[in-house]
Amino acid sequence: LIMTEEKSHPNQESIEEFLEAFKMASERKRLGLLNGLEERVEELLGLGSTLMSGFDPGVCDWTPGFILQVIHKTDKDFIRNTLNCDDLSWFDSPSDVGFDYSPLQRFLLNESYEDADRFTSSKLRELAGEKAVKRGYVYFSEVESIPSIDLSTLDKLWVVYSRGKFGFTVQAKILDSLGGRYDKLWPRIGWKKDGIWTRYPKAFNWSIEAPNGHMPLVNQLRGVRLMDALLNHQGFKTKS
């Protein structure tokens, strides 16, 4: 009698069922299933080009981002060859000004968060205009002119490749939960400790273990106004 794979593991769902359950689960439940998904990475790879067929690259959802990170750690060629993403950019990343955000996708895919943060800062300066590039930082008054689409793309890529932990919209939600008080936000996201600003870059936590909202960094030494202009940008107003 030849036993099928399913029969020998009567309690284990097929990888397709597990993926479907993972996708439909609440945020909290999904976070509890991460290890189970990582343990079944070979089965994920076995799904081949159908692996991502149930996901939409246009949506800001960290579930496919996490799956891509898991498979990329095991098989560096899968995304390029099997999913046909030459530049490893599976997610849509539109730009109003023709910017290429594929380097950011690669940094985030590989959890190279410090490189991703530097890329984000330099792109924000470019989006803010020539004066910001020359000056080396963005004035709060320049934020309004940054295209909503580009700001949303930057935010989305941070959210999808961090299990929903990082991104401007994450920082905005935390600020909202603190009644809009920046003095409470800084320590909550790890930018200040015991009244002292966290030293850049060495004292920041460039890993997925960092506090929620820890990245991307905005130069808080220039005061609240730059951060406030970013988090209140019209590009985020349509988001929940």
Name beta bridge partners: 197: 192
How many DSSP H helices and E strands does the chain contain? Answer: 14, 2
Query: Tens place of pLDDT for every residue, the chain, 240 residues?
Result: 544 444 445 468 999 999 999 999 999 999 999 999 999 999 999 999 999 999 999 999 999 999 999 999 999 999 999 999 999 999 999 999 999 999 999 999 999 999 999 999 999 999 999 999 999 999 999 999 999 999 999 999 999 999 999 999 999 999 999 999 999 999 999 999 999 999 999 999 999 999 999 999 987 666 799 999 999 999 998 654
**Contact criterion met (CB below 8 Å) for 93 and 102:** yes
Q: What is the model's pLDDT at position 215?
A: 98
Measured CA to CA, the distance from residue 68 to residue 110 in angstroms comes to 10
In 3D space, the residue among 146, 98, 141 whose CA is nearest the CA of residue 121 turns out to be 146
91: Cβ contacts below 8 Å, ≥ 6 apart? 57, 58, 64, 65, 105, 156, 157, 160
Q: What is the model's pLDDT at position 219?
A: 78
Indicate the helix (H) or strand (E) that contains 196: strand 196-197
Taken as a whole, the chain contains a residue count of 240
**Contact criterion met (CB below 8 Å) for 146 and 96:** no
Measured CA to CA, the distance from residue 36 to residue 55 in angstroms comes to 19
**Contact criterion met (CB below 8 Å) for 235 and 148:** yes
Measured CA to CA, the distance from residue 35 to residue 77 in angstroms comes to 22
SS3 content of the chain, % helix, strand, coil (to 5): 55, 0, 40
In 3D space, the residue among 154, 155, 212, 208 whose CA is nearest the CA of residue 178 turns out to be 212
pTM of the model: 0.94
Q: How far is CA 194 from CA 178, 191, 214, in A?
A: 18, 10, 16
Measured CA to CA, the distance from residue 224 to residue 217 in angstroms comes to 13
